[in-house]
A and B are shown apart, each in its own frame.
Chain A
């Protein structure tokens, strides 16, 4: 939002300068050219910021992108749902939506989980690559602690310092872990073997398994 205001302000300011700097009979010519050139140069920023501001949350609950900003339709998203008592204070007021460049542009305060979704990614084919890309956006909040078991894949011990075995039970026949939901379905593959779609939504949340 602040980038949007800043961009509009720069466009307006330069246009006014272009208007005032010219002789009276050339003022409209000068101002219109300055406005057009500055607007063209800032179009990318302006368009992105404007889209973020006007985006709505997808309300079709059969869509894997349900609850996510429509800006991310057709793109890849990673959500981290933290337990209520372990949510970083930045995300305590609901589910935050952070674009791939780190801009936190929308918060859903009515969502039944606290945490954040990082989205707008394209072209990732493997789950681990997408997860790493999402973590990079807020390393201090989503930092991973993993154990690499070689051919067996990797195991996520904690995300953002949140360890499932501290949050939930871990014993002989019960285990709490970071579970992965791929497009709304509990993934049977680990993150390192997960194959993605163009618009995959990965949700990480703590779940408990018994056997």
Chain B
């Protein structure tokens, strides 16, 4: 006997709760099962983070401006550095926009998330102190990044409207900037520490050690 699962329709709220549960399970699985892997290959965890970012962005799409990409861009910036941040921003934006919507704004999203990652990489010493993550500094930066990213993406409207309208446009978006900032802080509060441990396991970046002596030829 066959059942047509496609015939089952969920209300937007039911669908959202289901999506949220999927994202939670995915992130929790990643954090709790990752300890089994001993790989020091950053490519593995980088790829997994990209998958989490893309799926998280798509699944949390019903909530305006709350998604994990900005937070993950910050973490990638801190633990992987500038070049990975640019790659992360590009891959995540293009991959998720295939499903969400692709347009000129995609370029600004790439620039926005890459800028956040690059800034995080440059400010790394403010976030990792004594080999521990400074959650307060990270939360403040994450909140700021919500505004920064939205403002950079807002530049895309200058293709259509007069620059004099730009400030009004930015002002109108403040409630949504606040949501983005709040979402980022929530991601930092809940996920920064476990993700930091996970990234530590796969990268050599958090505890740079001086070479004791030069290798002779």
Contact = CB atoms under 8 A, between A and B. Distances in A.
B185 A35 contact: yes
B185 A54 contact: no
* Interface of chain B: mostly helix, strand, loop or mixed: helix
Contact of B175 (A28, A35, A36, A50): A50
Interface stretch (B7-15, B89-97, B176-184, B205-213): B176-184
Interface of B: 63-64, 66, 135, 139, 168, 171-172, 174-176, 178-179, 182-183, 185-186, 188-190
Contacts, number: 49
A125 interface: no
Contact of A43 (B179, B186, B188): B179
Contacts of A43: 64, 175, 179
Contacts of A28: 135, 139, 185, 188-189
A56 B172 CA distance: 11
A33 interface: yes
Interface in A16-63: 28-29, 31-33, 35-36, 39-40, 43, 46-47, 50-51, 54, 56
A54 B182 contact: no
A39 B178 contact: yes
A36 B186 contact: yes
B182 A39 contact: yes
A54 B172 contact: yes
Nearest to A70: B168
Nearest to A71: B172
B186 A54 contact: no
Interface of A: 28-29, 31-33, 35-36, 39-40, 43, 46-47, 50-51, 54, 56, 70
A36 B66 contact: yes
A40 B179 contact: yes
Contacts of B188: 28, 32
A40 B64 CA distance: 8
Nearest to A7: B175
A35 B182 contact: yes
A177 to B, nearest CB: 39
B161 to A, nearest CB: 11
Nearest to B66: A36
B189 A32 contact: yes
A31 B186 CA distance: 8
Nearest to B178: A39
30 contacts: A28-B135, A28-B139, A28-B185, A28-B188, A29-B186, A32-B139, A32-B182, A32-B186, A32-B188, A32-B190, A33-B186, A35-B182, A35-B185, A35-B186, A36-B66, A36-B182, A39-B178, A39-B182, A40-B63, A43-B175, A43-B179, A46-B175, A47-B175, A47-B176, A50-B171, A50-B174, A50-B175, A51-B172, A56-B168, A70-B168
A39 B135 CA distance: 22
A43 B64 CA distance: 10
Nearest to B64: A43
A48 to B, nearest CB: 9
Given A28-B139, A32-B186, A32-B188, 19 more contacts: A28-B135, A28-B185, A28-B188, A28-B189, A29-B190, A31-B189, A32-B139, A32-B185, A33-B189, A36-B182, A36-B186, A39-B178, A39-B182, A40-B63, A40-B179, A43-B179, A50-B175, A54-B171, A54-B172
